[in-house]
Amino acid sequence: MNREKMLSQIEDSSIKWDIVIIGGGATGLGCAVDAAARGLRTLLLEQGDFSQGTSSRSTKLIHGGVRYLQQGDIPMVRDSLRERGHLLKNAPHLVNPLPFVIPAYRWYEPYYYTFGMKAYDMLSGKLGIDPSLLLSRDDVIEKFPNLKNDGLTGGTLYWDAQFDDARMVVALARTAANENACVLNYLKVDSLQKENDQITGLVATDQLSGSEYTINAKAVINATGIFADSIRQLDDDKASEIIEPSQGIHIILDASFLSTDHAIMIPKTDDGRVLFAIPWHGHLMFGTTDTPDVPIELEPKPLEEEIEYLIEHAGRYLQKAPTRADVLSVFAGIRPLVRPAHTKGGATSKISRDHHIDVSAAGLITIVGGKWTTYRHMAEDTIDQAIKSASLPAKACPTLDLEIHRSAEREPLAQEHAELNEVLHPEFEYKKAAIVAAARHEMAQTLDDALSRRTRCLLLNKKATLEAAPEAARLMAEELGKDQVWIDEQITLISKSCKP
């Protein structure tokens, strides 16, 4: 993918795109893949970097959702498990099965949870991974030598899947581009254009150059997650708000706090939350929270009480209780939940994760809610709606069996240039080639794009990222033809993000 070539495709304002998608997260890029694979002339515009919104800040699980099983939302769990099965098949390079253990502290809990997880297995049908198992106390201790075992009675082992969310978004962008879609980051939609009260296009500004583009479209899709209401209000300033934001944060600890390749799932804390401790890129990720009424922003800020909550709960389960100084990084994301009138102000953890499609009187198609796991199904429903609304030439949705792009540039680059074969920093698995590939092939425009989303350094360890930043900036500047002023600016910006 090359941004200059993509930009040249929107210079001709006489082109009429079949579908223009606003938002480059899981939902928007899922729609771009679907529309382009059906042969529709497709354009996607993202105001920041691809996945800079919620889609790079998830728990990184492709799952049915044990919490939703507990809540009795069987259709949603079944749909998610079906999507999990297809993703394991279509993107095996990005999605991998992961064993989870639910530790039990009351005598009946191992049986209770194993029974529940057998139902989970049944719901996944032929697309299941491996069967759930009842574990004795000794089995759990053997798998998790660093788990507190006072009062432990046993446990349940079950399977779900894990992925790297931001890498998946880049892979979706490249899959869409391979199907001839034009996908652009740093293009912000400022206004919608109408004729006879119907949307006919939009105006967008390049956030890097300041250039403005007028774009004609037969159908416009609003896939902007937590920002969906602001786009709905560009269409109709009286449009009611449908997003109920809910913030979730994760803390990253050294892997030695758990020392295992299994994940832990705590199904119910005393305040009714679900917590996960998950091995990820050689570290331990612990989360998440559910904090309502947070400001809607692209770079949400973790609250101190959320961090304290996770440290305190990690200490309840881990033999070595972590302290604030052990937290290597923290990241926050905001769930774009759909507001049901009756739960306004209530617990966001209980709001359904179903998706919701709305078509305005002027034809704006808004897709909100859902989960990362169900992005493909959400996209299928949205493009079906767009085809219907704009009377586009209909083709059946092909994405159930469509392979997701596999990037193959990092290794050859590392083999060709000895310098690029070196790791960026001893703390990370990434080689310097990953930074060059990010700039050359993955449309990374800033140092933050390369360190937060093409690699995940910033999410894993802030101090090490700060140490790696000058070298990463130098490699990117060489690739993008930038000068020392740009390098200094980028390092300053990363330093701000790396503040403890």
Ligand X SMILES: Cc1cc2nc3c(=O)[nH]c(=O)nc-3n(C[C@H](O)[C@H](O)[C@H](O)COP(=O)(O)OP(=O)(O)OC[C@H]3O[C@@H](n4cnc5c(N)ncnc54)[C@H](O)[C@@H]3O)c2cc1C
Which parts of this chain interact with ligand X (CB under 6 A)? Answer: 22-28, 45-48, 52-55, 57-61, 188-189, 223-227, 248, 288, 298, 333-336, 370-373
User: What is the C-alpha to C-alpha distance for residues 63 and 68, in angstroms, rounded to an integer?
Assistant: 10
In the bound complex, what is the minimum distance in angstroms from residue 451's beta carbon to ligand X? Answer: 17
Using the minimum distance from each CB to ligand X, give the nearer residue, 61 or 263. 61
Q: Closest separation between CB of residue 334 and ligand X, Å?
A: 6
Q: By the 8 A CB rule, do 439 and 407 touch?
A: no
Taking the least distance from each CB to ligand X, the nearer of 110 and 370 is: 370
Q: Nearer Cβ to ligand X, position 54 or 445?
A: 54
Of residues 221 and 420, the one with the C-beta less far from ligand X: 221
For residue 145, the minimal CB distance to ligand X (Å) is 26
Q: Give the tokens for residue 157.
A: 């082992």
Q: How far apart are CA 349 and CA 288, in angstroms?
A: 11
Minimum CB separation from ligand X for residue 211, in Å?
15
From the CB of 288, what's the least distance to ligand X, in Å?
A: 5
Nearer to ligand X (CB atom), residue 152 or residue 280: 280
Buried b (16+ CB within 10 A) or exposed e, 238-263: ebeebbbbbbbbbbbbbbebbebebb
The whole-angstrom separation of Cα 451 and Cα 467 is 12
CB of 310 to ligand X, least distance (A): 12
Toward ligand X, which CB reaches closer, 339 or 425? 339
| Cβ partners under 8 Å of residue 472, min gap 6 | 424, 432, 435, 447, 450, 451
Burial (Cβ within 10 Å: 0-12, 13-18, ≥19) of residue 28: buried
Task: Give the long-range contacts of residues 194-200, CB within 8 A, separation 24 or more.
Answer: 194/362, 197/361, 197/362, 198/362, 198/363, 199/235, 199/362, 199/363, 199/364
Contact 378, 76 (CB under 8 A): no
* CA distances from residue 279 to 31, 76, 255 in whole angstroms, order as listed: 30, 26, 7
How far apart CA 353 and CA 356 sit, in angstroms, is 9
Indicate if the alpha-carbon torsion angle 32, 33, 34, 38 is positive or negative. positive
Of 20 and 451, the one with the shorter C-beta distance to ligand X is 20
227 or 317: whose CB is closer to ligand X?
Answer: 227
Radius of gyration, alpha carbons of the chain: 23
Rounded to a whole number of angstroms, the minimum distance from the CB of residue 300 to ligand X is 9
In the bound complex, what is the minimum distance in angstroms from residue 46's beta carbon to ligand X?
Answer: 5
**Beta carbon of residue 384, minimum distance to ligand X (angstroms, whole number):** 18
Listed in sequence order, the residues at least 6 apart from 408 whose beta carbon sits closer than 8 Å to its beta carbon are: none
Q: For ligand X, which is the closer residue by CB, 268 or 417?
A: 268
